[in-house]
């Protein structure tokens, strides 16, 4: 696992060795038309660099054209981060804060975890501040909140609009149009095309017992899994699936729901049981550290290697992030060994930490005994208060109030203790599972291993010969 060493350098003591990183970003054509074009940003950034009191030793442009500010997974952003950690730059300059990121979390991460520890001053021209000053470091947090708020508002409006369209039966647009349909932008719906007949025939042949590979050969489809995708696509019945829910679409169905259900039942019967579908250990977890595309397994002679989808001619243009990506292909076995060994080390550390934390002893029983005694005292006081002639009312009421407060405190302590016990039990269960992972690994099936890794790992980012593992815990 790749680990970075952060070295703190005084930002205000860079001397004359000023190395500028000028960063510009635009996500859409519409945004460019509104005044944030790459050329406009470069012009402003260059003018600012030339106006600096000390002539920079070097100036490098980092340009992400067509990338959202909601994520740091941008090619030039990642390159700038690497250069920052190598101390190849002393200043990062943007035209506006939201060009760096629209995420408050990401903005603060860049400034507090990347720029400041590596002695890099961050400057925003429009907001007129830089992090080399105490005031600038204070203001950055405030401004990033507004950038985050704008992003969330945009997302909320977009999400609500898409939800309403789907509920009304309109196709969402974007992405891949299902085979057998065209997307009519004017109407906002799917329209059957000449391939609709092929889709219908695929269902008929499959229900007659033809294999997916045989069907693929008949219709000259490149892969048999394309047949599987067509068969499983419920939009063929006239519905729209959005966020796991089904909505009645406005488009004409190619096949009936009855035929679809028969095909799914036949598929289930032929498969026998559910399969994950890949013969490779890390499928679905691999990400190119340079362009952000997925990575795939590919056979090179007698060796299996991992290669960025941007560098593979698969016919899947939607998987390509950067056609010029130069990330190296790397032997799959090397990466798999690194991941497995790191998993074993990580789980061993978790086990050690859990052993340290497992000494929680439950006192719930003792607390409940005290609560029972408190309730008995309260009952006696209530009886005394009811029988009182009024002389001792104030005293009795004070005692009742004190005991009620004690009762409330005890109840809260009991609930807290029970929660701790439950958490402790859950930690122990997970500890036992992790403790046996390394010893169980040789006897686990490939499916079991993949399921385990997907539960533990969020993503594996590969950049040339380096590996960064992002865990789910």
Return the active site residues: 27
CA distances from 224 to 201, 228, 230, 271, 295 (A): 15, 7, 10, 14, 21
Give 359's DSSP letter. -
Orientation of helix 224-232 relative to helix 196-207, angle to 10° = 100
Residues 85, 285, 473, 142, CA torsion sign: positive
Distance CA(10)–CA(121), nearest Å, equals 10
Separation of CA 332 from chain center = 24
Burial 332-358 (b: 16+ CB within 10 A, else e): beebbebbbebbeebbeebbeebeeee
To which H or E segment does residue 30 belong?
A: helix 29-31
User: Do residues 318 and 103 touch, judged by C-beta distance below 8 A?
Assistant: no
Alpha-carbon span 43 to 130, nearest angstrom: 19
The count of other CB atoms within 10 Å of the CB of residue 235 is: 18
Is the Cα torsion angle 116, 119, 121, 122 positive or negative in sign? Answer: negative
């Amino acid at each position: 696992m790749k680990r970075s060493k952060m070295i703190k350098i005084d930002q205000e003591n860079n001397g004359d060795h000023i190395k500028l990183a000028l960063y510009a970003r635009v996500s859409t054509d519409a945004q460019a038309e509104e005044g944030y074009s790459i050329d406009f940003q470069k012009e402003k950034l260059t003018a600012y660099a030339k106006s600096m009191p000390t002539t920079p030793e070097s100036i490098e442009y980092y340009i992400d054209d067509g990338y959202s500010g909601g994520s740091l997974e941008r090619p030039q952003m990642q390159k700038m981060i690497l250069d920052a950690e190598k101390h190849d730059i002393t200043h990062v300059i943007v035209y506006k804060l939201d060009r760096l990121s629209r995420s408050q979390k990401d903005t603060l991460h860049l400034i507090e975890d990347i720029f400041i520890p590596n002695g890099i001053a961050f400057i925003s021209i429009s907001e007129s501040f830089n992090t080399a000053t105490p005031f600038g470091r204070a203001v950055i947090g405030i401004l990033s909140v507004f950038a985050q708020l704008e992003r969330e508002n945009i997302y909320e409006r977009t999400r609500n609009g898409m939800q309403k369209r789907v509920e009304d039966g309109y196709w969402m647009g974007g992405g891949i149009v299902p085979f057998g349909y065209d997307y009519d932008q004017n109407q906002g719906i799917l329209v059957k095309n000449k391939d609709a007949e092929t889709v219908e025939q695929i269902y008929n042949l499959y229900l007659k017992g033809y294999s997916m590979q045989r069907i693929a050969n008949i219709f000259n489809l490149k892969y048999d899994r394309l047949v599987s995708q067509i068969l499983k696509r419920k939009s063929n019945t006239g519905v729209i699936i959005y966020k796991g829910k089904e909505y009645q679409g406005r488009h004409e169905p190619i096949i009936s729901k009855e035929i679809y259900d028969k095909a799914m039942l036949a598929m289930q019967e032929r498969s026998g049981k559910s399969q994950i579908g890949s013969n490779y250990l890390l499928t679905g977890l691999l990400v190119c550290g340079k362009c952000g595309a997925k990575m795939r397994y590919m056979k090179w002679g007698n060796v299996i290697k991992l290669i960025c989808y941007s560098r593979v001619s698969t016919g899947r243009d939607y998987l390509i992030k950067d056609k010029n990506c130069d990330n190296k292909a790397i032997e799959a076995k090397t990466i798999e060994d690194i991941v497995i060994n790191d998993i074993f080390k990580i789980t061993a550390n978790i086990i050690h930490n859990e052993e340290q934390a497992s000494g929680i002893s439950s006192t719930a029983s003792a607390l409940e005994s005290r609560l029972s005694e408190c309730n008995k005292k309260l009952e006696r006081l209530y009886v005394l208060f009811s029988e009182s002639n009024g002389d001792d009312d104030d005293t009795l009421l004070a005692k009742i109030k004190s005991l009620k407060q004690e009762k409330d405190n005890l109840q809260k302590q009991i609930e807290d203790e029970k929660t701790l016990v439950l958490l402790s039990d859950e930690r122990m269960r997970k500890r036992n599972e992790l403790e046996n992972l390394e010893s169980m690994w040789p006897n686990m099936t490939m499916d079991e291993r993949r399921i385990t890794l997907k539960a533990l790992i969020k993503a594996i980012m590969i950049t040339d010969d380096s590996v960064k593992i992002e865990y789910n815990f």
